[in-house]
Copies of this chain bind each other. A is one copy, B any other.
Amino acid sequence: MASLKDVAVHAGVSVSTASLALREDPAVKEVTRQRIRRVADELGYRPNGIARDLKVKKTDMIAVLLHDLGGPFYSELLRGVQDRSHQRGFTAIVACSAKGKSSAMTRLLLENRVAGAIILDPVIDESEISSVASEDLPIVVLDREIQAPHVYAVSADHEGGAFKATTHLLDRGYRLIGFLGGPEDSFHSRMRFEGYRRALSQAGVDFDGDLVCYGMFTEDSGYDAGFRLFANGRHPDAIFAANDEMAIGLLRSLEEQGLSVPDDVALVGFDDIRLTQYVSPALTTVRQPMYQLGSDAVEQLFQILSGNADIESVMLSTELVIRQSSGVTPRSPIRG
C-alpha cells in the first residue's frame, strides 16, 4: 500500500509537500502539484483516513445505532439521517446496537471512532447509554427520555398522537374505547397510553381498566389480545392499538370472531406502516415524521458538536391518517 512517503520519494519532494499538494494547497507550485498528483495516481496512492483522523484528532463520522437493522420503517429515518449528514459534511454509518466486546457499540462509540451517535433502540438500557455518552461523544437518543449529561433527545409526540387518535374515535361517537398496549415498560406504549387516557378524560369518558390489554408490539400478540379484549362478555366499540402490527393482528382476530370493522368495532393503529393501506379495511393510524426525526437528530448532533451551548430536546408532532377502520361518519359528535 503506497503511502504519502512513497509518493514523495518518487516525486522527489518532501512528505509535507506531497501532503499539501494532494490537498490542493495553493502554497505548492502548480507544476509540482501536477507532478505529485501524477505520481500518486501511478502508485495508486490512497490517503489513509485512519492516520489522518489520528493526527487531526477528529472524525466526521457519526454512528446510527438501531436495535435491529432494517426494521420496517427505518427507511425514512435513515434517509433523513443520510441527507442531513451529507449536508453537514458528516458520514453516517449504521450499525446494530447490540452490546459486547466486538460490537458496534464498543468499536464505534467506546473506541473513539465517531464524533457522535444517534441511538434508536427501545431495549438497550438507559445506564448503558448514559455511561457511554461523554464530553467527546454526545449522543442523541430517539424516542426516549434519558436525563444524563451529553445525552440529548429527539422524539415524536407519541402522547399527542395517541391523544389525536383517541379523540378521533371519540369524535366519531365511540365511547367504549379499548387500549391495546405494547410491553408495559416500553416508552412508546406508555406515552401512547397516556395520550389515550388524556383524551378520554378530556371528553369526560370514564376510564375502564377492563378495556386495556397488552401485547408485544407483534402481529401475533395483537391477534391473541383480540380474544382477551372480547372475553367475559366485554364488548368495546372501538380499540386504539399502540402500533399497527398489533392492530393488524387484532383485525384478523376480530374477523375470526365474526366482528366487522368498523361496523362492530372501530380500530386505530399507530406508525403508519405500509401494510396499513393494504389490509381490509385500511387502517386508520398515526404517522410519525420519520424523515424529520432522522434529519433533526443529525442537526442536533451537529449543533452540539459545533459547541452550541443550549440544546433543547426536540419533540415532533404526529399526524392522524384517517382510513376506513375507524368508521365513516360521526355517529354523535361530542364537540362542535
Binding site for B on A (CB under 8 A): 1, 44, 46-54, 59-61, 63, 68-79, 82, 86, 89-96, 98, 100, 102-104, 107-108, 110-113, 134-136, 274-275, 278-280
- Contact yes or no, B103 A47, CB < 8 A: no
Residues of B within 8 A of A59 (CB): 50
In the complex, besides A47-B112, A278-B278, 19 extra interface pairs with C-beta distance below 8 angstroms are A44-B134, A48-B112, A49-B111, A50-B59, A50-B113, A52-B111, A61-B107, A69-B74, A70-B76, A70-B77, A82-B98, A86-B103, A89-B102, A91-B107, A92-B104, A93-B104, A93-B108, A278-B279, A280-B280
- Contact yes or no, A112 B74, CB < 8 A: no
Instruction: State the CA gap A12–B297 with chains docked (Å).
Output: 43
If A60-B102, A95-B92 touch, whether A82 touches B53 (CB-CB below 8 Å) is no
Instruction: State the CA gap A107–B75 with chains docked (Å).
Output: 22
**Contact partner, A110, options B46, B60, B102, B275, Cβ 8 Å:** B46
- Contact yes or no, B111 A102, CB < 8 A: no
Residues of B within 8 A of A107 (CB): 49, 60-61, 91
- Contact yes or no, A95 B91, CB < 8 A: yes
List the B residue with the shortest CB-CB distance to A131: B44
Residues of B within 8 A of A74 (CB): 69-70
Residues of B within 8 A of A70 (CB): 70-71, 73-79
Instruction: State the CA gap A32–B67 with chains docked (Å).
Output: 38
- Contact yes or no, B93 A94, CB < 8 A: yes
- Contact yes or no, B91 A93, CB < 8 A: no
Residues of B within 8 A of A60 (CB): 102, 107
Instruction: State the CA gap A76–B75 with chains docked (Å).
Output: 14
- Contact yes or no, B82 A96, CB < 8 A: yes
List the B residue with the shortest CB-CB distance to A49: B111
List the B residue with the shortest CB-CB distance to A290: B70
- Contact yes or no, B113 A86, CB < 8 A: no
A-B contact pairs, 28 of them (CB 8 A): A1-B112, A44-B134, A46-B110, A46-B112, A47-B110, A48-B112, A49-B107, A49-B112, A50-B54, A52-B111, A54-B54, A60-B102, A69-B74, A69-B75, A69-B78, A70-B77, A70-B78, A70-B79, A72-B75, A78-B96, A86-B100, A89-B102, A91-B102, A91-B107, A92-B95, A92-B104, A93-B104, A280-B280
List the B residue with the shortest CB-CB distance to A53: B50
Instruction: State the CA gap A113–B46 with chains docked (Å).
Output: 11
Shortest Cβ-Cβ A-B pairs, 7 listed: A49-B111, A70-B75, A69-B78, A94-B94, A93-B93, A91-B107, A70-B74
